[in-house]
Every structure is written in structure tokens, then in C-alpha cells.
Structure 1
Amino acid sequence: MKLVSFRVKQFRSVENSGWINISDVTAFIGTNESGKTNLLVPLWKLNPAKDGEINAIQDYPRDEYHIIRALKNKPIFIEAKFHLSERVNNKISELTGLPKVQVEHVIVKRAFDGEYFVEFPEAKGPIEPDVRFIRELINQTIQDIQGVSSTIKADEALKENILRVLDSSLVELGSMKEDTLDLQQMNRIKENLQGIDLSKAAKRSTISPRFGQLIDEIDAKIESLDIPELEENEEVNQYIVERLPSFVYYSNYGNLDSEIYLPHVIQNMNRVDLGVKEAAKARTLKVLFNFVKLKPQEILELGEDFPQGASPSQEQIEIVAEKKKERDVLLQSASTQLTSRFREWWKQGDYRFRFQADGNHFRIWVSDDKRPEDIELEARSTGLQWFLSFYLVFLVESQSSHEGSILLLDEPGNSLHPIAQRDLSAFFDNLSRTNQILYTTHSPFMVDPNHLDRVKAVYIDSAGSTAVSANLRAGEGQVKQTQSIYPVHAALGLSVSDTLLQGCLSVIVEGPSDQYYLSAIKNVLISKGLILPNREIVFIPAGGVKGIAAVVSIITGKDQTLPFVLLDGDGPGLSSARKLRDSIFESSPDHVVLVSEVIGLVGAEVEDLFSIDFLADIVTRMLPRPADLEEDFSDIIQPGIPIVSQIETYASSNGIELQKGWKVELAQRTKTQLLKGRTVKNIDDNCLEIWSRLFKQLLEE
């Protein structure tokens, strides 16, 4: 089961987070006290791998504590949507009788009293048989039986009775006012057919088997209808809850010490009353010894010497010496293994580890090319200590007790150097092949500018609750929100600086949604050989038209070569284009490109670069669907009108609230859909022609 999205409600500082879409790696950025931890913890408590008990005093919202405490049925605080594996999907389809496409996704909810609730959002229930289908089934049976010639005298009477019953069933079907048959009506049809007693038919009868086939087909339809409602199907609910992935929450990574007292290690590994810090260290030591296949008790025993004052024989001396030699070989072998495996992950130096045991003490020494002398681990950088501890815990536990778990990391890598934090981001990419990862951070070096679709901004809204948005500029009027997304600005600045040094082609766009669209279009055009850029094309979001001039001044090359600017053809875009062409771009007005001029559609925005049917289908799947909705968005879409205005009008007319960041979510969904191989093959030729024309204009400087 793979986590697709989740929603937190009435948990600590979170009133209602809204549905948060999740990738293999998802980052939550925000200021201190914005509530980032309060998004991870309830997800952990959905199905914790360890600890994670619901605590009323800590977890209920303080202003509603007295209300929730008095409720008999406690409110749901976490909802998580999962995509089922093929094996689980097949089993649920088998248990429910529903087609697999209706049970591909499941939503699991948990209330403060610990109770679970299971829901299949796409399930429509069993399909009621069509009256016309049943009529055709009976008519075909009549034709088959009428065409049977039999030499058995008893068959003639049976044939007459069967045809009479089938005719009466057709009459009853003709009186039906609905187009489909419910369970009660199907049972009535079956009762009518069971008026024929086939037990008295001749053994060699040729009519009886054909009539029995009809009854079997009617039974199959009844069986598909006669299944319990999904919410009441305890077997299905239990099956799903038992297969939930466990959630592993880490906020303390238990840095290793350089000198370890083995008797304490052996004792602490079995204790449950340790403090948080000591428990974290005990866990790290346990995985260290597991990783290098050493047992603390064995290391201790192999190093045992003679009691003080003892007079050992030569044979005893040789036995003790042999044991110590074996211990040295074990430690050397384990040291070599750790050194070799650690180099695969850590790129900040060529480190070598050496384990040493001296009596009851176990030491870890570290050396590298720049500092070849052995130095205790504790005397090396905090970053190295942290990364080694982190590496051991996650590499070992993700392959054993945490296999398939979803990892929730609170502020990982704070003590690492910025370059090492980037390595940690690469570590996450590798680890996410087996474990989805959600983490919180303040650091721009933990934000991958090539994957901004992974980043969610967390901030305090005007009501004082924790809010989260995929739109990194959602709630921009609030100072706290601007502070929350500062790491993204910094990450983008670092990314831009790096790429500028490599001589990329910079194109400034209004916002992140434009960046998603154009990056995806670029990849499609390159894959089809329609453009062959000789340098990287980078789309830099300016945070709206007001920020364009500032970004231009930052990234203009030393030779004063101006970047390109791509603007929407709406009012703000047209106004900005005029100002830029009359000032900064007076010498290069063709570097200011309007989408409306490229497409030839008044008011066109970047969304209008796509086929209207292609985008309308994605919008239809993205928007909530009220129960009284009569027409989907794709049913009312009109060509020749900018699609954004149509989306806003449609939502307003149908009482659909467009969430903050909806344009960014639409861009992310479009990018994902567009880059699927099957979709790329079917891109509209007119779209390809427009895209090619736009990019050739950008490339022809």
C-alpha cells in the first residue's frame, strides 16, 4: 500500500489541513511553531511501528479539550488515502464482488478513541442488472429450448412448463418501470423460475441442462447484488487495517559515542525505562552491532582476561590469546565492511573506521585522507557523527523491522554542513525506493530545487491554525507565510546561481505552476526531437509579475544579455509586458513573450498552451464533486475562451471552493500526466506546433 495523500483534523494546532498530496519524498517547510510536527505526528499515530499512543492531553486541541473529552464517539483526527498493491486490490475485489477499478484506493481514518474506519472512495456498489439484459437472457433460453428436439417423452411436458414459466417472466419484466433490477426483483424472477422442478427431469434430458444454465446465470447476478455495504464489511475492514504500512517517526537520532562500555550496552539493549536520549543511543548501538554482525556479549567474552593474581598455565594463556586474536580479526573485518558500505553514501570524505576492544570498552576510531591519524568518533564533526548514526539506523531498520514502512523525519540533518545536507537529500531519494519519506526542515539545502513539487509550505493562518499548501506563495499577505517559504527562495537562488555558472538559458515566469508546465513541455519536445537545445533551459518563478524586474536584475549576465520573460496574456501580464518593453527590455523587446501572442487567443495564460480537452479532463478529476452536480467540467468546456476563467466560473456556479494552491496542484497533475509515455504519444499536433514555435523563439537569441 502506497500513501497518496492525507488530511489532519482537530489535532493540536491543526483544525483542518485539507488533503495533502504525497510523493515518494515530501518536504514540509515552515517557521518554528508553525505546526510542522503536528502534521507528522497524527500520521504516525494512524499505525505507529513503535510507541505512538494517542494522548488526550497532548493531542486534543486545547480550546476543544473539554468538548472532545465529553464526547462518547470521539472525532476522527487523521485520514490517509492509499493506493493498493495489485495483490491487495485483487483480494478486496474478491471479498466485495466489486470490479478492481473501484477498489484501487482506500481511505483509512482513525478517531481519538483508536477506532478505525475504512472507505473506498471510488466504489459505486454492485451494478444492478439491466432489464433489457435479463430479457435477452430469457429470450435466448426460449429460443434454445424451442430448438431442442428430444425423443424423451417426459421432455415434452417439461418443455411446455419451462416455456410457460419463461413467458410469464417476460411479462413481469415488461411491467417493470425502472431500467434496472434490484435484489428483491431479481429474487422474484428466480422464485418464478424455481417453479420448475428439475429433479423429476429424465437423466438424459437435453432441455433440463439449458434451463439450469439460465438459473445459474440468474444466481450469479443475485450473488453480486447480495453483498454487505463496504462500511459494514468487517472482513474487508480488518483485512485493510492489518495491512496498513507502519509509520516510523524520528526526532532523535541517537549519535554514537566514540567509547562504549560493553556491559552497559548489553544491559541497555533490554531496558525499557531509558530516557529519550539514552534510548536513541541504545537503538543506534543495537543496529551498529547488527550491521557489522557482532554481538556485544561475544566481544566481551572473547576479551576476558585472567583474574588478578591468577597463575594460568601455558595452555590457558594460549587459549585466551587465541580468543583475543579472534576478536581482533572480527573487529577488523567488521571495520572494513562499515568503511566500504559507508563510502557508498557519504561523499564528503574518504573515511575509514576502526573498531577496537579493550577489556570492557569498545571504541570507534576514524581517519581519512586529510587526517590520516586515528581520531575518536566523538572528536570528529557532529555532522559526521549524525550521518553515521542516521545511516546505520535507516539502512538497517528499513531493511528489517521497518521494511515497507513510511518514514516521518522531524528536522533531519540540522548539524550537517550544507553540502552534506544535499547528500542527505540524495540519501532520501535512494531510501525512498523502499520507504516513502516525509520530513520537516528549515534549511534551503534540504530543499531540492529540481523537485519543488515535493515541497509543502506550512504556516499559521489568520485564525491561528496550522495551514499547509502546495502553493508556496499561498497566504502571501501574511508575514509568517513569507518567512515559512524562505528556504525555497534560498534553494532557488542557489540553484539559479549554479546553473548560471554553467551558461544556461534563463526564462523568467510568473510562478511555480508556469515552471511545472514549461519544464514538462520542454521534456516532451526534446523527447520527440522537435527542439535540440545546446544548453539547459531553466524556468525561474518570480513570484508574480511584481517580482520580475528584481529577478531580471539578479540573473542578467555580466555581458548584459537579458533573459527571456514569459507572461500570461491577462491584465497584469499585459501591463507588465508594456512596462518591461519600455524600460529594462527597451533594447530587446522580443525577449518579453506573451502567451496570448504565441497562441493567438486574447487573455490566454500558460494553461492555454495545452489542448482544452486534455486539461479539462485533469480539472474534472481534480475538482471535488458535489452530490447534486449535474455536469462535469469537461462537459461544459468551451473552446476559444481562456480555461482558467472557465474553471473559476464553473467552481463558483456549482458551489465548489477552489483551495489555496489549486493552480499549482493542477500544474503538478498535468506535468505527471504529460510525462507518462502513453500520453506523450497522443499529444495534439496543434499543441506540438505551438510549443515548438514558443521554444524556438526562446532559443533563437
Structure 2
Amino acid sequence: MIKLIKANIIRYKCIETEQSFDVEDDVTVLVGMNESGKTSILEALAKTQYFENDEKFTFNMIHDFPRKQKKSVDKTGEIPEAVKLEYQVDNNVLHEIYEELGIKPLDNKFSVTYYYDNHWTWKLSWINTLEFMKEKIVSLEFENQDLSSSLQNVSNKSQFKKVLENKNEMGYSEDDIKKLDSLKVFFKDTNSWEKSPIDEFVVCKYLIPNLPKFMYYDDYYSLPSRVSLTKLEENFTDSAKKTAKALLELADIDIETLTKSDNFEEFIAELEATEAIISAELFKYWKTNKNLKILFKIDKKEEIDCYNNTRIVDRILEIRVQNQRTGVSLPLENRSKGFNWFFSFLVWFMKIQEKRDTTYILLLDEPGLNLHAKAQNDLLKFIFDLSNDYQIIYTTHSPFMIETDKLNKVRTVFEKKDGTTISDSVQEKDPNTLFPLQAALGYDLAQNLFVSKKNLLVEGISDLTYLSIISTILEAHGREGLNPEVMIVPVGGADKVATFISLLRGNKLELVCLLDTFTDQSAQSRLNNMVAKQIIKENNILFYHDVIQSDHADIEDLFLKSDYVDLYNKTFDVEIDSTTLTDGSILEQLRALNNGESFNHYRPANYLAKNIQSISFSNESLNNFEKLFKLINKLF
């Protein structure tokens, strides 16, 4: 499988300067105001590899290139770049390549750049042709050593072609000629990569067939109440008609046969059978009203000609929604837009699901915009369930379409004087852009975050527990603890620190971060970006390793090893000898002693909180924590 890992939109409509954002393995959320450029981002992605032939989803210099830059680009005569996408290949594909080529790819990432004339170029450097030929030729065991030597020095197409042209003159054996001909597949005349033919072979055979295709969906694809079947093929470019056609294809109904028939019972039965399958999936997530049922009716439109003969001029598919409790049915378009969106999306989506040999990335533009807040939450569950099999990128400005424990998956979209800006670190100052994220945090979260002007951001609950308890112990001994005005705020992991800083900074609060040594490079990158943009001062970021002067440390490393092991033993009812532990991370060593399995770091902290009266700590442990509190207090 190939996954999209980064999108670089170079120039497209309101995006006038190159914008990049990381794409999550499952769900990526684009949040921004109306007209901020969210739809343009999805369109630009869709036009790179759309899942079907559709002129609407191809790049067009006139309609898509930023207007105020178009004249200057036209004068150069060059075809400008539109989008550059970066992908990562999984081990299964790499193994297939290795099995055929006998040489391991040097990398698992590549990029594809798409241009405004709709051609695309690849960038990868996986297989060195010379190294490949050396390995391959040795394995083929040529009889003629001169031929073998010549082939082992081939590094491009021209050199291979020269060896091939000489095969009849050199008197090679029939067996050697067969082996030589077997290499032609790697140096095809139709291929164009002169200097990297083996990379091109990999692209053609393994990457292009597995490259994900984009499926774009918005409100315009919602099913209409009445569909002219006779004119359906003529209006195929209409988005709503495409969904209607998808419904008929999903039901295995041939439109041409239907438009020639006078008896529609068989076709209605197929539609109702398909509706039952779709509804079974729909009502897993649609909790608002489960009494609804889709009804289909196919009618014929007749007219009398000049000879007083009646003839059928059209067949009409009518779609209605019945409330089974009241018995009332209404045209689909007259029911709630939210229900129509959900049902129509499932029709569209299930149709593309039939293509099992293709991988899709779903682009959803303002999904569930007309749904009630609770129904949006149900839709959100549906989207995250879909993400087990598909990468999904969706846009929203609704706080109910954002999961508060997944804020690291959010990218903000904001329009400035120089065009649309996309941010990974939620760095905009615009309160309207930030509002959905702040609202999504919810009432309970707000109660914890906004009770103090001074906030110490830590990663988890165990940090909060240890810091609070040890501060109390130090103060009881007349030593310096944490400033009582400082509120300790656990954010739920290092990857959420950058988001919390962004959301809190608009409230004129003092912030200090206290973190474990980074192991997640993406979290470190986001925080470094915050520092570079002066959203938080570098001096206001503390690490536990700063206190004990080591390369790596978690809060547990502030304890003397014998102190923490004693706490660990009492928590898990084990007997580990602390003298067997060496310098370095205590958590890693305990994990190793636990057969490589991690343990709940909060449990020892919780045990300490419950048994504080019977537990004492060494002076060395208390010194480390006191040193930490002095550093924090100075920063506030």
C-alpha cells in the first residue's frame, strides 16, 4: 500500500504562495472560515489523481492559476507546477520489489509533481542501476565473461542498448542471448528515464498501479428527488446525476434496458434490495430518526403525437423518504438535507468500493454541514471508522466535527493578504479561525485550562500527580515547591503541546512547557516551529533532562532509582533489585524487565497519592524536584 504523507500546493486559485501540510495516516482535518480556501485545497488534490475521467477534475490554466500571477507566468512560456505530493510505500510493496529485483530499495518515499498541462513527473532514487546490474548479472551466470563484464558496467539505457546491438556480431551462445533478452524489460524503448531506468521500471510496475486515487464529495452530489432516466446519460456531467447513475449501477440496472421497458417492477425490486444494504450501514450511525425508509418509483411520461398515438417520451425515477411511524412520505429533497447528504454519500461511496483493485483517498468538503450537532458527532464516528481502510481529508468550520483528543490532526486554513495559508501548528491569530478548535475543547476542558493566569503544560496525569505531591512534601520541610499561583495542565501527550499553546496564547496567559525528552520527531518539529514563529519563547520550554543533566529523561528519572523502584515494586507487587539497574532511562530498563512490555505510568503515581503517609524519599530525589521547581518559578 502507498500512503500520502505530505501535500505541497504550489499555486492554485487563492493559494498564491506554496503551502505544505502533513497528511495523517487516517484523518486530516482542515479548519477555517468560509472563503478561506478549504475547498480549493481539496480541489487541487483531487485534480492530481481523480478516480474517474472527469474534465471538471483536471488542471486548467485559465480557471485555476492565481489570476494576478497569470500574466507573468504566461510570458515565460513555461508550464507551471500545480501540486507536489509526497508518498510513503509500505513493506509489502518493498518486499515485492526486492523479490523481483534482488536488491533492496534505498528508500521508501517518493514524490510526484503535477503541472498545469496535466502531465506529471516523479522524483525518487531507490535503485542504483549500476548496483542492480552487478547483482543481476552475477545471478544470471553468463557463459561469456566479456558480456558479463560489459553488462555489469551498464548504468543507463544507452549503454544497455549498445550491448544489445552488438549481440549478433559477438557470437554469444543461444543461452546467453536469452538471458540478455530477459533484461530488456528493465530498459524498454518506450521508457524515458535515460539515467535511472530501474527506478522507472519500479514506478511503472509497482508505484503507478498502487498510487491512491482521490474521491471528492460535497453537497452537489446529493441525490435529486426526480431523475430523468432518458436524459441521464446526456447530463452525466451534472454532479447529482452522477450519484443517481451510481445508484443504478450499484443496483446492477442497465439504463439502456430500463429506458426501453414498460414494466418497472423488476428494476424497483433491485433498487429496494440495494437500498436495504445501504440503509443497514446508514442506521449504524444515523441516530436522529430510525423510522425513515427510502421508497423508489419508476414512472413513465407519455404524450400524444399528431396522429393521436400515445408514446413514452421519458422514464422518471422518483425517490421519496417515508416516515414509517407517521406513514407520511415526502420527496427526498424535501426531507432534511443532512439525511439526504448521508444517504447520497453512502450511494456514491459504495459504488467506488466495488473497485477492489484501487486505493482511495477520500476528500470530503464540509461533510454533514446541515446535520444537527449530535448527528455531526455520529458522522464523525463514521468517518473515523472509514479511516481504518482509507485516508480521509475533510474540511469543516464546525466544532462538532473536531475530536478534542485528536487536535494534532487539525490543520488551519486562513486567508491573508498574500493568499491562503495552511498551518500545522495552529499559528493564526485570527479568533474566527481558532473558534471551532476552542469550542471543541468543551466546557470541562475550559474549566481546567482557564482558572489560572500562570499555566504549566505537562504531558500527562502522572506528571501532575508527582509534581503536586512532591511540591507539598518540599513545602512541609520548609523548602521551595511550585509557586501556588501556577496551574499544572496535563495536555495528553507531547504531540498536543503545540496545539494547546496556540489555543491558550490568545487569552493572555503565561505558559511554560515541562516535557519528557522528545521521541516523536513530528511533535518536536511542531514545537520548534512555534518557537521559530515566536509563539512561545524557547526559554519557556523545560525538559526533565535539563534538571539532571542527562541526554534523556522522563519525570520518573528525577527520582533516585532506589526510590522509584520501591514505589514500582509496591504498585505492581514485584521485587526488583534497584542495584541491578544502570545509568540511563529507568522506564526503558523496567520495560525490559517486563518482557519488553510497557506499563501504566500513572499507577505508581496513583499509588503514591493514596499512600503518601507511608512513603518517604531520599534527599537526592527531593533535591532534583526542588531544583526543577526553582527553574519553573523563575520563568513565571
| TM-score calculated relative to the size of structure 1 | 0.54
- The correspondence of residues 662-677 of structure 1 with structure 2, limited to 5 A, is none
**Alignment: residue pair count:** 456
SS of 2:211's partner is coil
Q: Structure 1 99/605 Cα, relative in aligned 2: closer, same or farther at 3 Å?
A: farther
**More helix by proportion, 1 or 2?**
1
Aligned partner of 1:344 in structure 2 is 284
Aligned partner of 2:332 in structure 1 is 377
Distance 1:467 1:106 in 2: 25
1:411 counterpart = 2:366: yes
- Which of 69, 73, 81 lines up with 1:68 in the alignment? 73
1:498-531 deviations in Å (ceiling 9; x for gaps): xx9xxxx99989999958x438x89xx9xxxx99
Q: Structure 1 580/343 Cα, relative in aligned 2: closer, same or farther at 3 Å?
A: same
- The correspondence of residues 93-492 of structure 1 with structure 2, limited to 5 A, is 93=98, 99-100=104-105, 102-120=106-124, 123=126, 230=196, 233-239=199-205, 240-260=207-227, 264-271=228-235, 274=237, 279-296=238-255, 298=257, 304=262, 333=273, 336-350=276-290, 351-359=292-300, 360-368=315-323, 370-400=325-355, 403-461=358-416, 464-472=418-426, 474-476=427-429, 479=430, 482-492=431-441
Structure 1 alignment gaps of length 5 or more: 130-181, 185-226, 305-322, 532-562, 567-575, 582-590, 596-603, 625-637, 648-677
| TM-score calculated relative to the size of structure 2 | 0.59
- Which of 36, 39, 42 lines up with 1:40 in the alignment? 42
CA contact (8 A) 1:119 1:231 kept: no
Distance 1:327 1:118 in 2: 47
* Residue identity opposite 2:14 in structure 1: S
1:177-230 deviations in Å (ceiling 9; x for gaps): xxxxx979xxxxxxxxxxxxxxxxxxxxxxxxxxxxxxxxxxxxxxxxxx9854
SS of 1:268's partner is coil
Distance 1:645 1:475 in 2: 35
Larger Rg: 1 or 2? Answer: 1
* Residue identity opposite 2:366 in structure 1: E
* Residue identity opposite 2:516 in structure 1: L
1:293 deviates by: 3.6
Q: Structure 1 54/642 Cα, relative in aligned 2: closer, same or farther at 3 Å?
A: farther
* Residue identity opposite 2:58 in structure 1: E
CA contact (8 A) 2:3 2:25 kept: no
Distance 2:19 2:407 in 1: 20
SS of 1:641's partner is helix
1:249 deviates by: 2.4
Distance 1:682 1:344 in 2: 43
Distance 1:331 1:20 in 2: 41
1:3 deviates by: 1.0
CA contact (8 A) 2:424 2:526 kept: no
1:102-142 deviations in Å (ceiling 9; x for gaps): 23222222233434232237x5958999xxxxxxxxxxxxx
1:24 counterpart = 2:29: no
Distance 1:468 1:512 in 2: 28
SS of 1:83's partner is strand
1:297 deviates by: 5.1
Aligned partner of 1:2 in structure 2 is 3
CA contact (8 A) 1:68 1:75 kept: yes
SS of 1:388's partner is helix
1:649-678 deviations in Å (ceiling 9; x for gaps): xxxxxxxxxxxxxxxxxxxxxxxxxxxxx9
* Residue identity opposite 1:267 in structure 2: K
1:631-665 deviations in Å (ceiling 9; x for gaps): xxxxxxx9842799999xxxxxxxxxxxxxxxxxx
Aligned partner of 1:573 in structure 2 is none
Q: Structure 1 438/690 Cα, relative in aligned 2: closer, same or farther at 3 Å?
A: closer
1:388 deviates by: 1.4
Q: Structure 1 334/22 Cα, relative in aligned 2: closer, same or farther at 3 Å?
A: closer
Distance 1:402 1:96 in 2: 23
* Residue identity opposite 1:234 in structure 2: E
SS of 2:384's partner is helix
Distance 1:73 1:621 in 2: 35
1:67-99 deviations in Å (ceiling 9; x for gaps): 322335434332222121445323545687752
Q: Structure 1 99/119 Cα, relative in aligned 2: closer, same or farther at 3 Å?
A: same
CA contact (8 A) 1:408 1:438 kept: yes
1:623 deviates by: 8.9
Distance 1:375 1:253 in 2: 20
* Residue identity opposite 2:231 in structure 1: Q
* Residue identity opposite 1:56 in structure 2: M
SS of 1:344's partner is helix
1:372 deviates by: 3.2
Distance 1:622 1:512 in 2: 17
Distance 1:126 1:623 in 2: 39
Aligned partner of 2:515 in structure 1 is 608
1:326 deviates by: 5.1
1:2 deviates by: 1.1
1:433 deviates by: 3.0
Q: Structure 1 110/341 Cα, relative in aligned 2: closer, same or farther at 3 Å?
A: closer
* Residue identity opposite 1:77 in structure 2: A
Distance 1:592 1:513 in 2: 5
Q: Structure 1 245/71 Cα, relative in aligned 2: closer, same or farther at 3 Å?
A: farther
1:7 deviates by: 1.5
CA contact (8 A) 1:403 1:434 kept: no
1:30 deviates by: 0.8
